[in-house]
Amino acid sequence: MKKKLGFTLAEVLITLGIIGVVAALTAPALVQNTGSAQVGPKLAKAVSTFEVANETMLTEKGLTNVISIGSVDGESISKSYGDVLCDYIKMGFYEEGAGDYGTSGKKFQIRDYHGDDIKTKPNAVAYITNPADSGAKYLSKDGFMYMIFLNANPVDQVVGPPHKQFRGHLAIDINGTSNPNVVGKDIFAFLIYNDGSVRPVGSLNWREGNDQANDNLAWKDGPRDKCNENTVTTGVTCAGSIFENDLKVIYQ
């Protein structure tokens, strides 16, 4: 008797059903992994763009440090510096203020890694919103939000040359104003140094000359904030984790 080739309709439907179930179970994890894989490269691009713009600005203006830009017409030093930097990086002024984003009455609140209002987290607030200085936010053509908070004077004791003095904070949102607006997921904290370079919070010797701060906020095992394979506290040290793990997100 000649055997029939191919599959029956019932067999095809059962196979498609199994494929659908497997896809439903694996797709969310695949999407999450793909998204996590994009975080490091996007953040590295945002940092590189910022540092190159600073280097070019200082060179062209014959300056040795970012604080030399000074303050203009009563503006905060953060905005005066950011406005000049706009000539060297494709970005525009977005707003002043801290703790959220908002234009035309619409607000996007910044939250910590677990979804709490960042302003209730004292370990993180200085590196993300810095209430002592309202700062200034700039939105780039690449879709990055740069939140700049400069200090007029060096913040802490520094071992080394003056150009390595810590001058302020920089928070980068790699999604601009788009969600989730969460520290450690799309918002990351850095320090700005006199020479325009930045250093991720939580990385090795991230706050040069201040051993206590380095020890307290270390991404791997800091007593005040962590961002490792097992624990994420507020998310403020996750920038250090990413840059010291080959631009990979090792935390979930």
Span 51-85, pLDDT tens digits: 999 999 999 999 988 888 877 776 788 999 999 99
Asked if 191 and 239 touch (Cβ cutoff 8 Å), the reply is no
CA distance 190 to 202: 9
CA distance 124 to 234: 7
Q: What percent of the chain has pLDDT over 90?
A: 48
Q: What percent of the chain has pLDDT over 70?
A: 81
Better pLDDT: 100 or 147 = 147
- Whether this prediction's pTM lies above 0.75 is answered by yes
Cβ neighbour number for residue 193 with a 10 Å cutoff: 20
pLDDT value, residue 31: 40
Better pLDDT: 196 or 12 = 196
Helices (H) and strands (E) in the chain, counts: 5, 8
Span 87-143, pLDDT tens digits: 999 999 998 876 677 765 667 788 999 999 888 887 788 788 776 666 899 999 999
As a whole number, the mean pLDDT across the chain is 83
Burial of 201 (0-12, 13-18, 19+ CB in 10 A): buried
| Residue that has been written with the tokens 């999450």 in this structure | 32
